[in-house]
Structure 1
Amino acid sequence: MKRILIFDDDADILEILTYLLNEKGWDVHTRANCNDILSIVEECRPDVILMDNWIPDAGGIIATRTVKSSDELRDIPVIYFSANNDIEKLAAEAGADAWLAKPFDLDELEQLLSRFR
């Protein structure tokens, strides 16, 4: 079973994605902030990370850069997602492996996740 770690401060998004991705066979872990991100990622050992741009406290760009700067964790794919109009630019700035604009439909997310399975 593939494991995904989702960082988003919107409880509704976390709840919906947890339900939908569990139904699709994913082991879903969520966090509403990115405090102590390296410890969280090391403990969870996800196959994919879904990172919101506006995640407290440091924000998605810094959180993604932190993960990508770790020798042990840099190979974990990070999908950057946000409702921000500059999502593609922000994802590139963060060093993410892919991006997804909010709102998105489940098919879009599944298609993107299938690239990292």
Structure 2
Amino acid sequence: MENKVLICDDDEGILDLLTLVLAAKKINAVTERNSANIFEKITQEQPSVVILDLWMPVLSGEQIVKKLKLNAQTKDLPVIIFSASIDGKKIAHDAGADEFLEKPFDLKKLLDKVNVHLRH
């Protein structure tokens, strides 16, 4: 199975940075800026891990995780949420996210979390 990570964030700079960082580690990254398209993108791309910003227009990371975890086909898909929000960790945990990273995040920690889930 290909190591593919789907990143969803409305910030183009974050998408570009994470794509470059993952590519340097030979991890294929696909991106989505519009959270409304995330479920279609997951179906098309079949990622091994999803990385989400907690706060996005249309659908929040919290809403996305809840829907993913309620769906039999995506309930086991690892989801990493990141946010600068003080309450972000609790919100992500309560929604069912597998991992949380505080912004600004340490890229090594992000890679470590991604790699843990890619090995499973």
**Which structure shows the bigger proportion of residues in helix conformation?**
2
Q: For 1:35-93, what per-residue CA distance to the aligned partner results, in whole angstroms no more than 9, with x for missing partners?
A: 14322211111000001111221211111111111111111100011111112101112
For the aligned residues, what is the CA RMSD?
Answer: 1.1
Q: CA separation in 2, counterparts of 1:21 and 1:37?
A: 19
| Contact 2:32-2:38 within 8 A present in 1 as well | no
How many residues were matched structurally? 117
TM-score, reference length from structure 2 = 0.91
Q: How does 1:17-36 map to 2 (within 5 A)?
A: 17-36=18-37
What corresponds to 2:17 in structure 1? 16
Q: Which amino acid aligns with 2:7?
A: I
What corresponds to 2:71 in structure 1? 70
Q: Which amino acid aligns with 2:6?
A: L
Asked if 1:55 is matched to 2:56, the reply is yes
TM-score, reference length from structure 1 = 0.93
> Which segments of structure 1 move beyond 4 Å, counting only runs of 4 or more?
none
Q: CA separation in 2, counterparts of 1:70 and 1:42?
A: 12
What corresponds to 1:87 in structure 2? 88
| Contact 1:38-1:66 within 8 A present in 2 as well | no
Asked if 1:2 is matched to 2:34, the reply is no
**Displacement, 1:18?**
0.6
What corresponds to 1:99 in structure 2? 100
Q: CA separation in 2, counterparts of 1:16 and 1:36?
A: 21
Q: Which amino acid aligns with 2:55?
A: W
